[in-house]
Every structure is written in structure tokens, then in C-alpha cells.
């Protein structure tokens, strides 16, 4: 299979790669670019562990082709902190014990950030439905929802 040459932006950095035409963005990130923060939990868009944003839109990177993202702006978990400063969501996930095994955490953080970017003051129900595309098997979601609530409050300066 001949490769597809793609120029794109990942976490603000210009990136070029060659991938197969049928290769998911997730495989490009993980296997070609060494960005293993996005996880493959299912490969069918059901678990959200591979969540990234493409041009600000939350997607499962297992359902996007690498060949599709030319010229796009992609954000992954590796770009969430600014230097040594964690994003408030990252800090609150740790302080609220919102992770146990941690495999779903990058996806949840990306999804939660996408939610708060759109809706800085979500209700509990809006948080629960906003994160319903991400599976967590360890926490029962209780502490995840609380961490997102605390972050929303903190970021609103409330």
C-alpha cells in the first residue's frame, strides 16, 4: 500500500507523517509519532479512551483516518499541560482521586476539556451526558464528575 503524506498541527507543533490510507489517526499518533497518551480500548468508537480534538471537535481517534487530518489542528493529552503547569482538570483529577487505573483518564480529560470549552457552567446532568462517550470501569464516575464540577467552578473564578 502506498503511503499518504500528511502535514498537520498537533498540540501547536507542525507535524508531518506518512501513513497508510486505511490507518486510523490513533495508530498514527501511537505507532508513528510516539504519542501513546491516547489509548485503544476498543477500536470501534465505543469507549472514548482514544479521545482527541480535531479543529476543536471531540472525536474518537480510532474512527478518524490519519489521511483525513491534513491542515487540521489536533489536541491530545500530551498538549494539555502548559510546561510544568498542569491544566486545572489534570490537577483536580489527581486531587479528587478521579482515577484508579488511569487508562481512561487521558480520554476523560480531553472530553471534559471539550465540554468545559463549550459550556463553562455545566449542570451535573450535562457533565454526565457530556462524558457519556467515555467508559471508566474503576470509579463509578462519582469522583470524575466531582473533579469536573470543581474545575468548572475554579475556572469560572466562582
Partner 1 sequence: MPLDTHFTNQVFKSVGTRPLRPDGIDKVTGRARYGADYNAPGQLIALVLRSPHAHARIKKIDTSKAEKLAGVKAIITSADLPDLTGDDRGMKDTLENCMARDKVLYDGHAVAAVAAIDATTARKALKLIKVDYEVLPHVTDLDEALKPDAPVIHSHIFTSGVTPKPTKPSNNNRRSEYGHGNVEEGFKQADVIVERTFKTEQTHQGYIEPHACVANVSPDGQGELWVCTQGHFVYRNQCAMLLGMDVSKLRVTASEIGGGFGGKTHIWTEPLALALSRKANRPVKLTMTREEVFRASGPTSSTSIDVRIGAKKDGAITAAHAVLRYQGGAFPATWADFGAQTSFACYDLKNVKSEAIEVIVNRPKVAAYRAPSAPMAAFAVESVVDELARKIGMDVVDFRIKNAAKQGTQSSYGPVYGPIGIGPTLEAAKNHPHMKAPLGKNQGRGMACGFWFNFGGQTCVDMNVTPDGSVTVAVGTIDVGGSRASIGLMAAEELGVPFDQVRVVIADTSSLGHNDMTDGSRGTFSTGMATIAAARNAIKVLCERAAKMWDIPEDAVVWENGTAKPAGANAGSFPPLTMREIAEGAGNTGGPIAGHNEMVADGAGVSFATHICDIEVDPETGASKVKRYTVIQDAGKAIHPSYVEGQYQGGAAQGIGWALNEEYIYGKDGRLQNAGFLDYRIPVCSDLPFIDTVILEIPNPNHPYGVRGVGETSIVPPLAAVANAVSNATGVRMTHVPMSPPRILKAISAHKG
**141 binding partner 1? (CB under 8 A):** yes
Q: Which of 95, 93, 112, 98 is CA-nearest to residue 48?
A: 112
**145 binding partner 1? (CB under 8 A):** yes
**131 binding partner 1? (CB under 8 A):** yes
Judged by CB under 8 A, the number of residues near partner 1 is 58
Interatomic CA distance for residues 90 and 6, integer angstroms: 30
Cell for 152?
Answer: 468548572
Q: Which of 144, 150, 151, 152 binds partner 1 (CB under 8 A)?
A: 144
Cell for 113?
Answer: 476539556
Query: Taking the complex as a whole, how short is the minimal distance between the CB of residue 153 and partner 1, in angstroms?
Result: 16
**36 binding partner 1? (CB under 8 A):** yes
Stated as kind and residue range, the H or E segment containing 156 is: helix 142-156
93-122 positions binding partner 1, by CB under 8 A: 93-97, 99-106, 109
Q: Which stretch binds partner 1 (CB under 8 A): 2-10, 53-61, 66-74, 77-85?
A: 77-85
Q: Which stretch binds partner 1 (CB under 8 A): 27-35, 53-61, 64-72, 150-158?
A: 27-35
Q: Which of 122, 104, 84 is CA-nearest to residue 148?
A: 122
Going along the chain, which residue ranges are E strands?
Answer: 4-10, 13-19, 51-54, 57-60, 73-75
Half-sphere exposure of 113 (CA within 13 A, CB side): 26
Q: Which of 67, 2, 55 is CA-nearest to residue 28?
A: 67
Kindly list the residues in this chain that would bind partner 1 in the complex (CB under 8 A): 1, 20, 30-31, 35-44, 46-47, 49, 76-78, 80-81, 86, 90, 93-97, 99-106, 109, 125, 127-129, 131-146
Amino acid at each position: 500500500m502506498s503511503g499518504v503524506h500528511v502535514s498537520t498541527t498537533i498540540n501547536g507543533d507542525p507535524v508531518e507523517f506518512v501513513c497508510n490510507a486505511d490507518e486510523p489517526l490513533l495508530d498514527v499518533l501511537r505507532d508513528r509519532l510516539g504519542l501513546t497518551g491516547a489509548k485503544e480500548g476498543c477500536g470501534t468508537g465505543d469507549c472514548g479512551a482514544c479521545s482527541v480534538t480535531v479543529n476543536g471537535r471531540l472525536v474518537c481517534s480510532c474512527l478518524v483516518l490519519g489521511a483525513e487530518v491534513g491542515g487540521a489542528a489536533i489536541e491530545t493529552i500530551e498538549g494539555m499541560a502548559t510546561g510544568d503547569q498542569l491544566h486545572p482538570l489534570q490537577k483536580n483529577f489527581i486531587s479528587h482521586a478521579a482515577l484508579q487505573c488511569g487508562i481512561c483518564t487521558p480520554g476523560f480529560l480531553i472530553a471534559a476539556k471539550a465540554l468545559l470549552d463549550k459550556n463553562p457552567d455545566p449542570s451535573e446532568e450535562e457533565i454526565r451526558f457530556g462524558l457519556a462517550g467515555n467508559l471508566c470501569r474503576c470509579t463509578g464516575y462519582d469522583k470524575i464528575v466531582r473533579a469536573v464540577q470543581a474545575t468548572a467552578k475554579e475556572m469560572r473564578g466562582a
